Amino acid sequence: MQKNILLILLSGTLPLAGALRSPAKLPEGPGVALQNQAGEHPQLELQISLEKSKVPRDEGLTLRIEIRNVSDQDLFVCKYVTSGACDLIFSFTPLVRAEGGAIAGDCAPYEWSKHASGGQLEYFINVLLEDWIDIPAGDSFGTHVQLDPRVYPELRTPGHYHLSARLSSGGLLEQHCYYKLKEYRSEVGRLRAKPWRGLVASNPVSVNVTDN
């Protein structure tokens, strides 16, 4: 069974398991696309929208995240945009300084930890199904993210803010701290869909935080 699925992934005769696709057409006009290399055509557009544009202070803020494939080929994009194979960073303007210090963390270098060895087809397939989504050219993937006021002091401080986001990824092989597929470089290179690597910025939205 695993061999049949792998042939589908590598040959391009069928899309990667229908469960990986979640097409949802985006509205026209969207965010600004950025790429790591000058002159490179945008591959993704990132759009954010608010469930509510006016929220009481100390209440979480729910956002709809839409990722649209604007390239001419299918792209693998991380399914979980806030962890693992992607970094999704939110920025408020004006910025509110939080009281106290922040704790920064990092992962152990790849060479220090144990990893699945290449050639385990079942593991390779399971990681693709669990962590990645195959977005066909012209389609999009949508998800929701909630911002916690304990993390974002702007949501604890009444005022009017502009909020934007940046999504970045090193793809299946080069994302910092994401080591699951590093031993499968050959298999990744034969996939029909191209892993997305780069940086894309969203449209801005306005948020009004009220004093309850």
Q: What is the DSSP string of 73-103?
A: S-EEEES-TTSTT-EEEEEEESPPPPSS---
Cα separation, 100 vs 122, in Å, equals 46
Cα separation, 130 vs 80, in Å, equals 9
Domain residue ranges in the chain: 2-97+105-210
Q: What is the mean pLDDT of the chain?
A: 78
Render pLDDT for 161-182 as a digit per residue (tens, 0 to 9).
Answer: 999 999 999 888 876 677 788 8
Highest mean pLDDT among 92-101, 128-137, 167-176 belongs to 128-137
| Strands 159-169 vs 61-69: parallel, antiparallel or unpaired | unpaired
Selected residue with higher pLDDT from 172 and 31: 172
Q: What pTM, to 2 d.p., does this model score?
A: 0.75
Output the six-digit token pair for 1: 């069974």
Render pLDDT for 62-84 as a digit per residue (tens, 0 to 9).
Answer: 999 999 999 999 999 999 888 77
CATH architecture for segment(s) 2-97+105-210? Sandwich (2.60)
Selected residue with higher pLDDT from 48 and 188: 48
